[in-house]
Amino acid sequence: MAGTGPTLSVDGTGLRVVIVAGLWHDVITDGLIAGATRVLEASGASWSLVRVPGSFELPVACKVALENGADAAVALGVIIRGGTPHFEFVSNAATDGLTRVALDTGKPVGFGVLTLDDEQQGLDRAGLPGSKEDKGEEAASAALATAILLRELRS
């Protein structure tokens, strides 16, 4: 699978990471989770998975996880455009909320929320067989790399 993002290989030994994933669009989300877990396992980080109803709930769950000892969070969700403004409301709330969580806690949140026009776009980006990209892998890699950088900056 040819990704467009950087490939990051990091040593996550000693880091605790929480994957927070929505329940909607489970085929796509499960692919994102698989990509994230592959990266975390390869890095040596310890990780756990928490499922929330949807992308709107990602920020609050990430915040609680980070406030309770996690070094990083990986937020995974799927938002597919419909015929109402709901798409924009949820997309903006998730994006702004996850940014605020990272800034308020001083800990990284890997952003793996897919905003899509249709389901096929998600299947193409979910790291599934035949996918062109693996956004779950990219989100976990970014969270790990940032957690390590922040640890170095603080020492």
User: Is 84 flagged in the annotation as binding?
Assistant: yes
Q: What pTM, to 2 d.p., does this model score?
A: 0.93
Rounded Cα distance, 43 and 105, in Å:
23
- Are 13 and 45 spatial neighbours (Cβ–Cβ below 8 Å)? yes
- The domain ranges of the chain are 35-52+65-73+99-138
Confidence (pLDDT) at 5? 53
Look up residue 101 and give its two tokens: 């969580």
Catalytic residue (choose from 49, 86, 92, 100): 86
25 is catalytic: no
Which residue, chain included where needed, has tokens 């969700």?
77
Name the burial class of residue 39, with classes exposed (0-12), middle (13-18) and buried (19+) by CB atoms within 10 angstroms of its CB.
buried
Q: Model confidence over 98-138: pLDDT tens digits?
A: 999 999 999 999 999 999 999 999 999 999 999 999 999 99
